[in-house]
Amino acid sequence: MSLEPPIDTEFEGTGRSARKRRAILEAATTSFLSNGYLGTSMDEIAALAHVSKQTVYKHFADKERLFVEIVTGTVNEISDPVYDEVLNLADSGDIEADLGDLARRLLEGVMQPRLLALRRLVIGEASRFPALGQTFYERGPGRTIGALAAAFERLASRGLLRLDDAELAATHFNWLIMSAPLNRAMLLGSDEAPPVAELERGAAAAVRVFLAAYGND
Amino acid sequence: MSLEPPIDTEFEGTGRSARKRRAILEAATTSFLSNGYLGTSMDEIAALAHVSKQTVYKHFADKERLFVEIVTGTVNEISDPVYDEVLNLADSGDIEADLGDLARRLLEGVMQPRLLALRRLVIGEASRFPALGQTFYERGPGRTIGALAAAFERLASRGLLRLDDAELAATHFNWLIMSAPLNRAMLLGSDEAPPVAELERGAAAAVRVFLAAYGND
């Protein structure tokens, strides 16, 4: 008996079915971002992915499920690496430097053009399809703020932060970093990331405000 | 010769033309919010307002101009009263109390259901129609942050705040207050304002963080 973990060909594999699945996801992302959620049909996605409509339905029960999969995939792809860094923050030896690094990484992640476009699409459809926004919120800001809160709790118990409510402090940190550029990008419709120097200045200023309120010195 | 200012019946008056104009704006708001920007036609707006299509075009050159008018009207209606309060802040005798009042008022304004729905619509269309988002940004957050910066500058010169960059401090204040509930509402698609007690707690916490960073004591 092999002790190798089973290879999940459906999701990660290189087989024919996995290739088709990826082609469908790619085609669907293109369609959704160009034509909006309502303006995209399963027929169109099938044509663009060069598969039959039955194949699309074999992989994804309906358009909403397919969209949720795209949101989850995109948000995870961008936030997974940063998520680990957030958890590591709990053991920080130099909190000011590490918060600064983390702030820059969070900001770079959230300002990626594809994620900005997807966020705009999800917001535009949020009243009609709240499940889409719910998924985005939970996988995105909800998850980051949760991980930050856990790290801040631990930093407070190590005497490096001073706080009563770690969730609130995490919310402040998250939005101090990203609100200004994110809300500008949302409204102004620009997917071009701001210059690195500007992001760095913004991140440093956010950390300064955060530590003035929650630092322990 | 009369010294009375001319009555602008076209915009504010009670004449037939002004009544029609208001009916068109109301019909257009309903259509845009229900069917999106692309899904709304001038024909439909004319029918809903019980006027001819020519009348619609007499008042508004095209759909984009009409939409910009709605955004401007809605944002101004909500932000005008708060705007005056922001300017008065410069003369504050009790900065902590006055910042707290202002934070609550800004938060209540930005969380009004019609403004939330309009913001979602504008964001959803921002890539296709950047002029819509530009208008929303300038009349909304841009204008508030500008007024806050002017007030903070004056408060700093009176020795009540400590800051190098009033625009940055204003940006921090604005987003500390509204980011968390606003971004939740955007993604979760809920137009129900959070309970007053929750808004008040959020506003108070934002002021606390702001004064820790920028207060002068």
Question: Tens of pLDDT along B41-96?
Answer: 999 999 999 999 999 999 999 999 999 999 889 999 888 888 888 989 999 999 99
CA dihedral A121, A124, A128, A131 (to 10 degrees): 50
Cβ neighbourhood burial of A126 (10 Å; 0-12, 13-18, 19+): buried
Q: What is the largest CA-CA distance in chain A?
A: 64
Please determine, for residue B10, whether its predicted confidence score (pLDDT) is greater than 60. no
Distances (CA, A) of B210 to A59, A145, B173, B202: 50, 20, 6, 12
Residues of A whose CB is below 8 A from B125: 124
Which one of A68, A106, A118, A120 makes the best mutation probe of the B interface by having the most chain B beta carbons within 10 Å? A120
Contact: A187, B137; criterion CB under 8 Å: yes
Give SS3 for B3. coil
Please determine, for residue B11, whether its predicted confidence score (pLDDT) is greater than 70. no
pLDDT of B159: 96
Closest in B39, B168, B213 to A213, CB measured:
B213
Measured CA to CA, the distance from residue B84 to residue B78 in angstroms comes to 12
Residues of A whose CB is below 8 A from B182: 183
Residue A177 corresponds to which tokens in the numbers above?
A: 């970093």
Residue B13 — very low, low, confident or very high, per pLDDT cuts 50/70/90? low
Nearest to B20 by CA among B53, B62, B49: B49
pLDDT of A20: 94
Residues of A whose CB is below 8 A from B179: 175, 179, 183
pLDDT of A81: 86
Residues of B whose CB is below 8 A from A172: 176, 205-206, 209
Closest in B125, B186, B214 to A126, CB measured:
B186
β-strand partners of B215? B161
Measured CA to CA, the distance from residue A173 to residue A106 in angstroms comes to 11
Among chain A residues, the shortest Cα distance to B211 is held by: A213
CA dihedral A117, A118, A124, A130 (to 10 degrees): -170
Among chain A residues, the shortest Cα distance to B125 is held by: A124
Measured CA to CA, the distance from residue A156 to residue A89 in angstroms comes to 12
Could you say which residues of chain A have pLDDT below 50?
A: 1-11
Contact: B183, A190; criterion CB under 8 Å: no
A 10 A CB-CB count for A176 gives: 26
Measured CA to CA, the distance from residue B68 to residue B75 in angstroms comes to 10
Name the DSSP letter for residue B4: S
pLDDT of A191: 80
pTM of the model: 0.88
Contact: B36, A208; criterion CB under 8 Å: no
Number of H helices, E strands in chain A: 10, 0
List, for residues A73-97, the tens digit of each pLDDT value. 999 988 888 888 998 999 999 999 9
pLDDT of B182: 95
Residues of A whose CB is below 8 A from B140: 187
Please determine, for residue B186, whether its predicted confidence score (pLDDT) is greater than 60. yes
Measured CA to CA, the distance from residue A122 to residue B188 in angstroms comes to 9
Contact: B191, A130; criterion CB under 8 Å: no
Nearest to B182 by CA among B156, B165, B203, B161: B203
CA A208 to chain B, closest CA, distance in angstroms equals 8
- Placement of tokens 């309906």 in the chain: A62
Measured CA to CA, the distance from residue B168 to residue A205 in angstroms comes to 8
Give SS3 for B161. strand
Residue A61 corresponds to which tokens in the numbers above?
A: 């029960």
Name the DSSP letter for residue B195: P
Contact: B127, A134; criterion CB under 8 Å: no
pLDDT of B192: 81
Among chain B residues, the shortest Cα distance to A201 is held by: B168
Question: Is A32 in contact with A69 (CB distance < 8 Å)?
Answer: no
Residues of B whose CB is below 8 A from A141: 183, 187
CB pairs < 8 Å spanning A and B: 124
CA B131 to chain A, closest CA, distance in angstroms equals 8
Mean pLDDT of chain B, nearest integer:
90
Nearest to B121 by CA among B194, B21, B191: B191
Phi, psi of A144 (to 5 degrees): -60, -45
- Placement of tokens 């948000």 in the chain: A75
β-strand partners of A161? A215
Name the DSSP letter for residue A126: T
Among chain A residues, the shortest Cα distance to B171 is held by: A180
- Placement of tokens 């973990």 in the chain: A5
Please determine, for residue B193, whether its predicted confidence score (pLDDT) is greater than 80. no
Measured CA to CA, the distance from residue B211 to residue B214 in angstroms comes to 5
Measured CA to CA, the distance from residue A22 to residue B41 in angstroms comes to 37
Contact: B130, A179; criterion CB under 8 Å: no
Name the DSSP letter for residue B91: G
Residues of B whose CB is below 8 A from A125: 124
**ipTM given for this complex:** 0.87
Measured CA to CA, the distance from residue A110 to residue A116 in angstroms comes to 7
Question: Is B27 in contact with B48 (CB distance < 8 Å)?
Answer: yes
Residue B147 corresponds to which tokens in the numbers above?
A: 């007024």
Closest in B121, B175, B180 to A124, CB measured:
B121
